[in-house]
Amino acid sequence: MRPGIALIGRRVCLLAGIWITCSALPAWAATTERIVVNRFTGVAIEGFDPVAYFVAGTARQGTMEFEANLWGAVWRFRNEGNRASFLAHPEIYGPQFGGYDPADIARGVTIAGNPRFFAIVAQRLYLFSRESNRDAFVANPERFLYEVGKRWPALQEQLSQ
């Protein structure tokens, strides 16, 4: 076997291994939309029920049985009551800043929040890309929200409608 052929074979195997590994990962959330959604399904916040954060105090998956379309996204809920509450008051139950991490927005970048890292502050839901961002935000939300207030309008203009 010639060395050049073996090298190509290793590259193909390496690329195939990367493709197989990456195809097993969850679909990444779009970060160019006004609401963070799965780019393949249109589902917001990875299918977690936004009302459950308030009712149960934890992140809980919604189901396809209880879906609603709002703001160009598909939202999932655990039951009809949560769905109805969300549709009546989406500005309260929906994640602030479209699900983008407010700590990152304060730094001037839009990074999708992870629905597993959340905080409810002043009766509003915030999602964070990292646990450390959540902890810093909770320690001083006023400071972050002040910075977000300065940066969010310009960042929001850069996002697709």
The per-residue pLDDT for 33 is 82
The total domain count for the chain is: 1
Single out the residue of 73, 51, 72 nearest to residue 61, CA to CA.
51
Q: How far from 127 is each of 11, 62, 103, 139, CA to CA, in Å? A: 39, 17, 10, 15
Q: How confident is the model at residue 42 (pLDDT cuts 50, 70, 90)?
A: very high
How far apart (Å, rounded) are the C-alpha atoms in residues 148 and 37? Answer: 21
**Residue 34: count of CB within 10 angstroms of its CB:** 17
What would the mean pLDDT of 39-47 be, rounded to a whole number? Answer: 95
Kindly state whether residue 65 falls inside one of the protein's structural domains.
yes
Q: How confident is the model at residue 161 (pLDDT cuts 50, 70, 90)?
A: low
Residue 29 has pLDDT above 80, yes or no: no
Cβ–Cβ < 8 Å for 108, 79: no
What would the mean pLDDT of 124-149 be, rounded to a whole number? Answer: 98
Kindly state whether residue 92 falls inside one of the protein's structural domains.
yes
Cβ–Cβ < 8 Å for 27, 41: yes
Kindly state whether residue 21 falls inside one of the protein's structural domains.
no
The per-residue pLDDT for 1 is 45
Kindly state whether residue 143 falls inside one of the protein's structural domains.
yes
Could you tell me the two tokens for 14?
A: 């390496």
Residue 121 has pLDDT above 60, yes or no: yes
What would the mean pLDDT of 20-46 be, rounded to a whole number? Answer: 69
Pairing of strands 124-128, 114-121: antiparallel
- The whole model's pTM is what? 0.80
Q: What value does the mean pLDDT of the chain take? A: 85
- Would you call 155 helix, strand, or coil by DSSP? helix
How far apart (Å, rounded) are the C-alpha atoms in residues 44 and 2? Answer: 51
Q: 102: domain range?
A: 45-158
Kindly state whether residue 32 falls inside one of the protein's structural domains.
no
Residue 18 has pLDDT above 70, yes or no: no
Kindly state whether residue 100 falls inside one of the protein's structural domains.
yes
The per-residue pLDDT for 109 is 95
**Residue 94: count of CB within 10 angstroms of its CB:** 22
Q: Tens digit of pLDDT for each residue in 143-158?
A: 999 999 999 999 999 8
Q: Tens digit of pLDDT for each residue in 88-112?
A: 999 999 999 999 999 999 999 999 9
What would the mean pLDDT of 77-87 be, rounded to a whole number? Answer: 98
- Give the range among 14-23, 45-54, 79-88 with minimum mean pLDDT: 14-23
